[in-house]
Amino acid sequence: MTADATIVSTTDLHRRYGEGPAAVDALAGVSIAVARGGFTAIMGASGSGKSTLMHLMAGLDQPSSGTVSLDGVEISGLDDKRLTKLRRDRVGFVFQAFNLLGVLTAEENVVLPLTIAGRKPDAAWLESLIQTTGLADRRTHRPAELSGGQQQRVAIARALVSRPAVVFADEPTGNLDSAASTDVLGLLRRSVDDFEQTVVMVTHDASAAAYADRLIVLADGRVAHDGAAGSADEIFDVMKAVGS
């Protein structure tokens, strides 16, 4: 994989919490490279380090040692101000909790990252996102007037509106029923296929991971498997094989 094809990478990444005998190594030397325009799923048992890895890759936490590069910038050594700007400009987030502002409409929530940055949305791009996410008849509704699936679609549109280098999705279907989960995962897949977006998703669900191109499985803070995602049954077999 060439440097130009890699959008985010980690080198010998370690993250230790606590000191002395009580210290816990959430990550113990993780080196991966994520290709631009791909959909990567990260799985692992509870405590395997998958959420820690995502937080470090997204600049939400700092490693104990090792480096993270995002869109050509080594983020491990950035100060808070530059890190905040990089996250705002180059990273999109979709969380299990939708994190929408209740006083804003769906469309206002979508453009919120640009509003905070003092930028106007590209009208054609915004309209494309609204249509693609199926929010055309919900754009003036507030979050309380939307279903869980609709709220997560707003969150996905918000993550995409600034055309980020990477979208990080942390258990994006965790609060959704199966129909809404299928809807949301299909949207993430389309953002890769149609918009050439890069998506990195943490999930515990083999069916969700099957939407990805690549599967990384962590165990005890290390990479236990890295390969093509395959079907949900194939992913389930991989998880059994690595003991997750």
**For 75-133, how does the pLDDT look when each residue is reduced to its tens digit (9 = 90+)?**
988 888 999 888 888 999 998 888 899 999 999 999 998 898 888 888 999 998 899 88
Q: Which residues in 20-84 belong to E strands, given as ranges?
A: 24-35, 39-44, 65-70, 73-74
- Domain around 162: 6-241
The answer to whether residue 126 sits within a structural domain is: yes
> What's the total number of domains in the chain?
1
The answer to whether residue 75 sits within a structural domain is: yes
Instruction: Output the domain CATH number for residue 198.
Output: 3.40.50.300
Q: Count Cβ atoms within 10 A of the Cβ of residue 178 and give its class: 0-12 exposed, 13-18 middle, 19 or more buried.
A: exposed
- pTM for the structure as a whole: 0.91
The answer to whether residue 1 sits within a structural domain is: no
The answer to whether residue 42 sits within a structural domain is: yes
SS3 7: strand
Q: How far are the Cα atoms of 2, 9, 41 from residue 75, in angstroms, in the given order?
A: 19, 10, 22
Residue-wise burial string across 125-142, b where 16 or more C-beta atoms lie within 10 A, e elsewhere: ebeebbebbebeebbebb
Residue 3's pLDDT is 44
- 2 pLDDT more than 50: no
- 17 pLDDT more than 80: yes
Helical segments of 91-120, H only: 106-110, 112-117
